[in-house]
């Protein structure tokens, strides 16, 4: 089995705000220089606000994934396809960032005297993988209408899962994408404390 992988585009960009995260931080912690000296925070309050939103996406990659599938007899594929070699291709969108559910309360340290908040974050990871557009599937006779016309067909789903898993494997070889996602996520968290009188320091677990 062979595969051809082409990374078309990696969009680096900070998604400045998941709305629920912003609301949680602004309402729960508050901003403004006028009350900066009066405000005290705890690791518990920060932990509850951070984990209330679960996911923080800070990097998106698009991969034009192409894979070759050899359908064996008595496999999960339709009997009509047994013994055939198929080629499937589709544009896969992969979101990378921090799974905030993996943060523990002990990962947050607060020094109210020095006004420093230290947060230890888990490593960036793939948060979601989805297909953008259609899957083009062909065999020796040309385009397979069976897979294109019925997106609930078991064969379609098998092709989709194979494209997704191989696209994720390609992305995992690009460490810079995960490093950038961690950096971007750190900057997003730091932005919530501007004007509070606290300095936030981010560490990687």
Radius of gyration of the chain (CA): 23
- For residues 11-23, average pLDDT: 36
Span 143-166, pLDDT tens digits: 665 555 554 467 888 889 999 999
108-111 sheet: strands from edge to edge: 108-111, 116-121, 199-204
- For residues 176-196, average pLDDT: 87
- H or E element that contains 23: helix 19-28
Span 98-115, pLDDT tens digits: 998 899 999 999 999 999
| CA–CA–CA angle 68, 72, 77 (5° rounding) | 80
Distance of CA 87 to the CA centre of its chain: 27
């Amino acid at each position: 089995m062979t595969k051809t992988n082409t990374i078309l585009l990696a969009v680096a960009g900070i998604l400045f705000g998941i709305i629920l995260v912003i609301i949680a931080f602004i309402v729960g912690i508050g901003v403004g220089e006028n009350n900066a000296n009066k405000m005290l925070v705890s690791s518990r309050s920060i932990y509850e606000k951070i984990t209330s939103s679960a996911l923080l996406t800070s990097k998106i990659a698009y991969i034009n994934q192409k894979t070759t599938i050899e359908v064996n007899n008595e496999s999960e594929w339709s009997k009509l396809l047994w013994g055939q070699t198929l080629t499937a291709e589709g544009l896969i969108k992969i979101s990378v960032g921090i799974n905030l559910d993996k943060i523990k309360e002990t990962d947050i340290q607060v020094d109210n005297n020095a006004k420093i908040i230290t947060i230890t974050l888990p490593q960036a990871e793939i948060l979601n993988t989805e297909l953008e557009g259609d899957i083009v599937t062909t065999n020796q006779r040309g385009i397979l209408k069976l897979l294109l016309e019925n997106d609930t067909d078991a064969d379609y789903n098998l092709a989709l899962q194979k494209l997704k898993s191989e696209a994720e494997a390609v992305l995992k070889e690009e460490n810079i994408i995960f490093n950038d996602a961690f950096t971007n996520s750190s900057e997003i968290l730091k932005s919530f404390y501007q004007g509070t009188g606290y300095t936030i320091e981010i560490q990687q677990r």
